[in-house]
Chains A and B, each alone.
Chain A
């Protein structure tokens, strides 16, 4: 069933790109809405519960290295519930894919093509995603390998170029209103960790399923670091108030397209 295989490295890259692109394109907006200057602290705090969620999902997936959640949910919960539960997951994947797609479309529309109808923008990326899903898991992993250096370069660019204008006094005051807004702000990045549910579908395709958990945890660690750095840079450059518009940079174009592919992959895997 799972004859096509991807390496743990490729799994890591897939999740890293998926998580990072989505968090840095709209999380600074959401977190700073509640936490203002302390958005970066919220991003930092968000790491721990997120990692815990990933660990739980990953551990379960690794416990059944040969099976996807559709199969082992029936082992765990029995016939009826075991069949019902994957339906919820199907809904979740659809929901995440839909959200990501909409966010992608809106960013492109606001930033680049204000007169292009939204369905055209989203349709183009759905076409690409459908093609890669049609091609299979292996090409997806290889595409991740090819894109990874470009992606890193783009992130590095967005972090380094605005640094000239950075004014770190913008980060002050730290914790002006105490911990509670920060905690509230960190809920969004935690909730987005639900993306990692696609781990339950991808683990059977990994050559060494045992290493899949490590790869997933590493990806969330690194993407959290990237998120914190990006948030710090964004706040110090344009201040907390300006954070509320999405970053209309070229990077978003490149980052976004990749984020929903694994999700769609799961969706089609059923």
Chain B
């Protein structure tokens, strides 16, 4: 009974109303009644509107809903021998032109040709539905699902006399082609990167993991944006608790729009006040695939190439695909190098300040003399010098990021040559400080993920101030506070500092060192606990043993 009353109300509201007109009801230029409902009211009203049997009416409510938006195309025609009123509805630019033309042809022409002369007025809907050849076919019985369909690039077919609509998949909007992500390049490794199209992104993973146990679930987040968010995992490998956690945290999000995965990240973040990222993010499908294969869950967001992955641990932010793709001694070497560089990028300027200020006895005398002579005439204390130069460098980096690519190099020349060289010449900063800042800058660029590099950048300033205020004691305090924060973090129930703390010996094969692939027999202990064995152990290739050597007589051939 309720739907009927709503229809009646709707119909009534469409009729010209004298009383309202008398109240000063205005009409806009499209001839629609001026609507003073707020957005939440509009959304709520729209949700409960069913489709009616009258095509005329359906089109009216659709037009009223969208305000006759100029990209909404409604093609009216008469189809079938009985000349039933029909409409093809789609959003221009979201559909594939050819597919829509095909549909139009079916509705306008084919319905006459196929010899369905005897079809009654009500049957044309079913007939067309049965005869359609499209990729995907859905039905909409209310305005909400109809709109959802066309807003995703479907084309809706409506016929007079049927209170339903056929939704044909005709998705075909333009997207960027797959390119190598600029922020994460590798020497050796695939050159593919995620793009803004979520279907392409999931296909990049599906192509890498062809198991049917790669499950991808999706939900829509955002009351207005209705952004598709999908999470992929390997069923039976990813922990059910983690999955449940991901699911519930995603479902809990109540927001109007999700324009980037950063929004999702902040909503599902375990430690929102920590400087360290507890959610991994990347643009590289190979990293996501390897994470999924370890039992992690990847979260794709429509409209952004950045894919999130949980649970994350500290170590994975310092691992790069090159570690795995190069031979293992090289992988181990660059991995240790990177860890050292990361520590340098946090502590070096702070250490310099504290040692120069408080503990000059730790520096060899000749070096100390050199530093002191260059510092003569410098008007600032070391702390001021370092802060000045670090700040200058941060400005430079930010400026370089925002500038058009053509001007970027120019800025770096200005920064490196003019600022560095001139500042020393003018005697404002000492060369030692410039060396330290440059060294730190280089070290900080070795971090393979931007998210950990940026935490290091912020921590560096803390360490400089602590080192300048309390010397090595301050650095020690800073280190301790950082460590306490790190070990108390959890990412979706997974200890953030694993396998360093808690110490897990078996996972050390893939942390700090990178053991050869044939020794990586077990998955990470806390993640892959459901199926620890990854591969047959000890598959190292060896030359044939003498006992297995070819039989006598075949030697020397």
Contact = CB atoms under 8 A, between A and B. Distances in A.
Interface of A: 7, 9-10, 108, 112-113, 116, 120-121, 124-125, 127-128, 131-132, 135-136, 138-139, 141-148, 250, 253-254, 257
A142 B472 CA distance: 24
B277 interface: no
Interface string B464-498: 00000011111011001101101110000001010
B553 interface: no
A251 to B, nearest CB: 12
Contact of B503 (A9, A121, A139, A253): A9
B471 A113 contact: yes
| B interface secondary structure, majority | helix
B517 interface: no
A3 B378 CA distance: 57
A141 B502 contact: yes
Contacts of B473: 108, 112-113, 116, 121, 124, 253
A27 B379 CA distance: 46
A128 B503 contact: no
Contacts of B358: 112-113
A135 to B, nearest CB: 4
Contacts of B481: 127-128, 131
A144 B488 contact: no
29 contacts: A7-B502, A9-B503, A10-B502, A112-B471, A112-B472, A112-B473, A113-B470, A121-B473, A127-B477, A127-B481, A128-B477, A128-B481, A131-B481, A135-B484, A136-B488, A138-B488, A141-B501, A142-B495, A142-B497, A142-B501, A142-B502, A144-B501, A145-B501, A146-B486, A146-B487, A146-B500, A146-B503, A253-B472, A253-B473
Contacts of A108: 473
B27 to A, nearest CB: 65
Nearest to A250: B472
Contacts of B474: 124
B188 interface: no
Given A124-B477, A136-B488, 20 more contacts: A9-B503, A10-B502, A108-B473, A112-B359, A113-B473, A116-B470, A116-B473, A125-B477, A128-B480, A131-B481, A138-B488, A139-B484, A139-B488, A142-B487, A142-B495, A142-B502, A144-B501, A145-B502, A145-B503, A146-B486
A131 B486 CA distance: 12
> Which residue among A7, A10, A147 has the maximum number of chain B CB atoms within 10 Å of its CB?
A147
A136 to B, nearest CB: 7
Nearest to A256: B476
B480 A257 contact: yes
B502 A253 contact: no
B484 A146 contact: no
Contacts of A120: 470
Nearest to B483: A143
Nearest to B476: A253
- The 10 nearest A-B residue pairs measured at CB: A142-B501, A145-B501, A135-B488, A139-B488, A145-B503, A146-B501, A142-B487, A128-B480, A139-B487, A124-B477
A131 B470 CA distance: 19
A145 B500 CA distance: 6
A108 B486 CA distance: 26
B501 A131 contact: no
B487 A135 contact: yes
Contacts of B502: 7, 10, 141-142, 145
Chain B interface: which size bin?
Answer: 20 to 34
> Which residue among B359, B472, B500, B503 has the maximum number of chain A CB atoms within 10 Å of its CB?
B503
A148 B503 contact: yes
Nearest to B505: A9
Contacts of B501: 141-146
Contacts of A136: 488
B487 to A, nearest CB: 4
Contact of A147 (B359, B483, B488, B495): B483
B470 A132 contact: no
B245 to A, nearest CB: 18
Contacts of A131: 481, 484
Given A113-B358, A124-B477, A146-B501, A132 B472 contact: no
B477 to A, nearest CB: 5
Given A145-B501, A146-B500, A132 B359 contact: no
Contacts of A113: 358, 470-471, 473
A59 to B, nearest CB: 27
A266 to B, nearest CB: 18
Contacts of A9: 503
Contact of A132 (B484, B497, B503): B484
A143 B495 CA distance: 12
B471 to A, nearest CB: 6
Contacts of B488: 135-136, 138-139, 142
A93 B451 CA distance: 42
A253 B475 CA distance: 11
A146 B500 CA distance: 5
Nearest to B489: A139
> Which residue among A131, A135, A143 has the maximum number of chain B CB atoms within 10 Å of its CB?
A143
Contacts of B487: 135, 139, 142-143, 146
Contacts of B472: 112, 250, 253
Contacts of A112: 358-359, 471-473
A132 B471 CA distance: 22
B359 to A, nearest CB: 7
Interface string B429-462: 0000000000000000000000000000000000
A98 B500 CA distance: 30
A192 B212 CA distance: 62
Nearest to A258: B480
Nearest to B512: A149
A146 B486 CA distance: 10
